[in-house]
Structure 1
Amino acid sequence: MHASPLVTSEWLQTHLQDPDLVVIEASIGKVIGKEPIEYDSPVCIPNAIKLDIETDLSDLTSSSVHAFPTLEQMRSLLKRVGINQRQTLVIYDNQGIYAAPRVWWIFKTFGFDKVYILDGGLPHWLQEGRAVASAYTASTGCLVDDALQLHSANLKSSAEILSNIESSSFKVVDARSEDRFMGRVSEPRPGVRSGHIPQSLNLPFLKVLDGHLYKSPQDLDQIFVALALEPSRPIAFSCGSGITACILLVAAIVSGREQVSLYDGSWAEWGAGEGFPVEGEA
């Protein structure tokens, strides 16, 4: 396998019957920032299992929206569905590229090396006329590797984001729309202020996509260079609740940037916290 986080539909088609391959659909019910794709009837990639990002892969004991799962939660989930770190995981999304990068980053943060995103997701797979199924595969439980651990450097806390406003040790890039970033429109979540984190940059997530696919590594590099984000510059990505930020995070990795992290609380936490400074508030 190559170092890219992405695999093509051709690659997945070729390897679909590999015994150590696990295909995971990781879609999300509520889509913000793009027109949702609706399906008339159940359809999935053959042999896929379904993980729910809002229940299976969110810490429901946290007050934060879509909070990162805990180590114990992840260990319990993997045992229930029968996934371990020796397997190759391919994650796809029924919206093309939307929630799958978030789920990819969760698995990477818990130490999975052989985990990839299907570039283009289910829409691209369907456009190419590839085989589909009407039901997910039932998962079979097994023991989880004892080596499972959370790599905390992949995540940023609100305290780290706050101190960075003074230290500028990394750059914060916000994946929300320009109107939300500038505070021209109300936030979709009640009680959350409009605007953005001081000194953060705006890169709406749709700008790194070409239809359902990621843009080329060269085009993505040019996008980040235009924001003065050279490969050596550490970047923390933010959005509304930590989902679409991961679209940019993966785009940065594809472009050759490796010093990346996720502000998991994102604007749902920052905009609701009275002690956090805001720019661009209407």
Structure 2
Amino acid sequence: MTPDDPQTLVSTGWLAAHLNDPDLRILDASWHMPDAGRDAKAEYDAAHIPGARFFDIDEISDLRSELPHMAPPVEKFMSRMRAMGVGDGHQVVVYDSSGLFSAPRVWWLFRLMGKRDVAVLDGGFPKWQREERETEDLPPMVRDRHMTVQRQAGLVKDVTQVAAASKLLDHEIIDARSPERFSGAVAEPRPGLRAGHIPNSRNLPYGNLLNADGTMKDAAAIKAALDAAGVDLSKPVITTCGSGITAAIINLALERVGHANHALYDGSWAEWGMFTDLKVAKG
């Protein structure tokens, strides 16, 4: 059993005990790969944890960018959260319908906006349902709530910063994609992208940080997975993946083991794999 921490990860039991807290806000941040054939919003409408609001990762993003679901401008994040009734003084719990997949992305996004009272639901909606806990299909009653944001620029990296880190070897770059995608053995799911990985990056498939039931491994097992991937935790870490979603699982895991010096490469392979002037490693 992983210890509950309202700033990183909480159990279904913790959430059930706090479900009626007046300053609790629950977000369903389910997101699926485009080829998964699943509609996250429709699934939310059919059943969700009582009081949960739907957080649309694709819409609450920087739609000016050609890259998928890049972090939104501060003003957009604030306005969307206000409309959802999420603001200052709230404890936020984020979950997804896969177990532990896209919710850490929204946890990271709140961190980027300077909000620390936010946790991911360990095991997500599948665990909640397996335990036969209460669900509903009604939208919550929402009241506007003011939100103050202080963007933490150090938590996100752009392509120039990642390229420098790849050359200078002064960061550990950790890629959450599958070994087949990392090595370049299979084609990328997004058309037009080269196969392979950022030179001098390490591969830690996000599934290696999870238990069979979709919960996150404990601190000792997380450290073992980092060690097995060859990660040197004396260095700051940059996480990456296909499009900046599952990379955040590594950020969450790093936070759980007390390694606070980490950032996420928001463009991830959707950006790096597109530009022919950036080097690609294989194998």
TM > 0.5 fold call: yes
The answer to whether residue 174 in structure 2 is matched with residue 170 in structure 1 is no
Q: Identify unmatched segments of 5+ residues in structure 1.
A: none
Displacement after TM superposition at 1:94 (Å): 0.9
CA distance in 2 between counterparts of 1:178 and 1:101 reads 21
Report the counterpart of residue 46 of structure 2 in structure 1. 42
CA distance in 1 between counterparts of 2:162 and 2:38 reads 31
- TM-aligned CA distance change 1:244 to 1:159, over 3 Å: same
Kindly indicate whether the alpha-carbon contact (under 8 Å) linking 1:50 and 1:136 is maintained by their aligned counterparts in 2.
Answer: no
- TM-aligned CA distance change 1:37 to 1:52, over 3 Å: closer
Q: 1:227 aligns with which of 226, 229, 233?
A: 229
Displacement after TM superposition at 1:112 (Å): 0.7
CA distance in 1 between counterparts of 2:197 and 2:233 reads 24
The answer to whether residue 54 in structure 2 is matched with residue 53 in structure 1 is no
Kindly indicate whether the alpha-carbon contact (under 8 Å) linking 1:174 and 1:200 is maintained by their aligned counterparts in 2.
Answer: yes
Report the counterpart of residue 122 of structure 2 in structure 1. 119
Displacement after TM superposition at 1:35 (Å): 11
How large is the Cα RMSD of the aligned pairs?
2.2
CA distance in 1 between counterparts of 2:7 and 2:122 reads 11
Paired letter, 1:52: D
* TM-score, length of structure 2 as denominator length: 0.92
Paired letter, 1:97: L
- TM-aligned CA distance change 1:101 to 1:35, over 3 Å: farther
Kindly indicate whether the alpha-carbon contact (under 8 Å) linking 1:156 and 1:261 is maintained by their aligned counterparts in 2.
Answer: yes
Report the counterpart of residue 189 of structure 2 in structure 1. 188
Paired letter, 2:103: A
Kindly indicate whether the alpha-carbon contact (under 8 Å) linking 2:211 and 2:217 is maintained by their aligned counterparts in 1.
Answer: yes
Q: Identify unmatched segments of 5+ residues in structure 2.
A: none
Displacement after TM superposition at 1:230 (Å): 4.3
**Equivalences for 1:65-76 in 2 at 5 Å?**
65-76=68-79
**Equivalences for 1:117-156 in 2 at 5 Å?**
117-145=120-148, 148-156=149-157
CA distance in 2 between counterparts of 1:36 and 1:76 reads 27
The answer to whether residue 202 in structure 2 is matched with residue 198 in structure 1 is no
Displacement after TM superposition at 1:84 (Å): 1.2
- TM-aligned CA distance change 1:279 to 1:231, over 3 Å: closer
Matched-pair identity in % = 35
Q: 1:14 aligns with which of 17, 37, 45?
A: 17
Report the counterpart of residue 277 of structure 1 in structure 2. 279
